[in-house]
Structure 1
Amino acid sequence: MENKAHAIAAGLFLLLLGLALAASVAWFQGDRTERVHYTVVSRGGVPGLNLKAPVKLRGVEVGFVDSIGFDPQDPRQILVGIAVDAAAPVSAGTHAQLGLQGVTGLSFVSLEEADATAPLKRAAPGARIAMKPTLLDRLAESGPLLLAGFAETAQRLNALLSDDNRAQLNQSLVRLEQAAADTSRLMAALQPGARELPALLKDADATAQRAGTALREIEALAADGRALTQELKARVAVLDQLGGAATQLQATTRSLELALVGDTAPRTRPLVADLSAASRSVERAAHELGDQPQSLLFGRGAQPPGPGEAGFEQRLKGGSK
């Protein structure tokens, strides 16, 4: 009896120990995090997405996928149920995208904020989150259009590189080469002139300096000419006064002649004749100075020949011409 009692006690102990171990494992493996369920709505496919696939919010894992299925009301939509940590800041403007887990081909759900700077407004539990296509999805959708564009571009390139266009291009290249050779020859011809250019510039500077000196001398001559003109004006004024004096002297002489016309004294007549001759000389000198005022400075010029003098006939002939 005692052996049976010991066997029963040992069996009960092992059973209780096993139950305790199972309860401990269940305790440590159990997920006691509070979860909030949302539904991700996808109009396209969800390749590589499986149950228990991670859900990440801006790169931080906050939950997992707990269901995948078609929408009963619209079979073209796929509903992906996700369980997210209640503390995760899922806002009403959050959208979802599929991300790839390395090179395994498996996908995960990535939650992104539409506007990270906007005030946080949490999404209601059970709310639907739209899934937007990734860059690869957009490329796949636009692939036919891209291929059509590439085909059209290839056709245009083929038309551009036709035989006629290639021939014209070859001719243009040949002409360009000829123009480059002509330019080289022209540069070689211009090099001697370019080497002489500094000397020419130096000569031009010297010429400019001489021209400046000449201009200053011309200005000085102009100033002298203005002074000479003023002096001539003064001389002409003096001559005018002399002419007036001569006229007055002539009038006085005539008055004396009239006054002494009846005088027969031999001494008075020579005096009157001398006065008349002096008056005429002064008048003639005044007229000559009036005609040639420059004679005061440069002397009298040569008088033209009169009648009976040598050269008078040539002067008449020259005047008739």
Structure 2
Amino acid sequence: MNFALVGGFVLVLGALLIAGLLWLASGGAWQTRQDIYLSIMEESVAGLNLNAPVKYMGVDVGKVQAIGLDAANPKRVRLLFAIDRGTPIRVDTVAVLKTQGLTGIAYVELDGGAASSAPLQAVAPERYPLIRSKPSLSARLENVLTTVLTKLDSTSSSLNALLSPQNQKAFSSTLADIALLTHTLAERRSTIDAGLNSAAKTFDNSAELTGQLKRQAGPLLARIDSAALAVERMGLETAQASSSAGRTVVDVGGDIKRFSAVALPELQQLMGEMAVLAASLRRLSEQAERNPGALILGQGAVPDGPGEALEATRKPRGERP
């Protein structure tokens, strides 16, 4: 029997077995390829460790590969996720830090990612695609509690100012005045009751008087209405008379205009002729006063003027002027 051959076969078989175990430990044919994604948290990641699970809607899809502070802003934490290839990481996917039960072990939950959204891609200057993050439940509770505590502190300060010694004295004085007023009202209860009864009777009398006034005012209101109607009719008649007078004035105005256009020129001409006749009569009366016989005998020959007689003597006898 060749022991060397058997020993060689055992060594080769052992090597193959070790290689197979190593291959199976690394995943072998079932090893899933993973993609690296980046997420930046603006809160404490206490309880989150390396290789902490990354879940998508509760399903394990990867692990936390690296945890570190942001060099540009120490208040932010940079997380690298190794997520199985094929996981639907889209532009609207968000990462939230959560804790598991009461143990306080933290993990990362991915949420969102509508089917119509585009796949998430790396954008410069980042090397890996950046998954947006939102505050965890504990961070939101902390913010709410901080706000509530701030408001409680402000309210407490306001109450302390309201309950200062000066205000306490004022409150005590007000309460004493109220007690005194209450005691006084209790002592005067009978008087107050009598006054209220009198006021009630007065109201009843006033109501009765108002009813009587309404009943008596009925006829008076009717007469006032009749008088108002009469005044209204008189106003209408006056308006009609004014309208008629206006039309009459318009008609008279038209007649005056026609008289001025037609008869007035003839009247002016007649007045001119009468003036000429009056002047002729005045000259005739003056001549009658100077020579009354002229009305019967007529006027004689007009005497020669100066020089006319001398010129007549120089002319020959047979000539007549």
Q: Under a length normalisation based on structure 2, what TM-score does the superposition of the two structures give?
A: 0.44
Q: Under a length normalisation based on structure 1, what TM-score does the superposition of the two structures give?
A: 0.44
Look at both structures and tell me which one has the larger radius of gyration over its CA atoms. 2
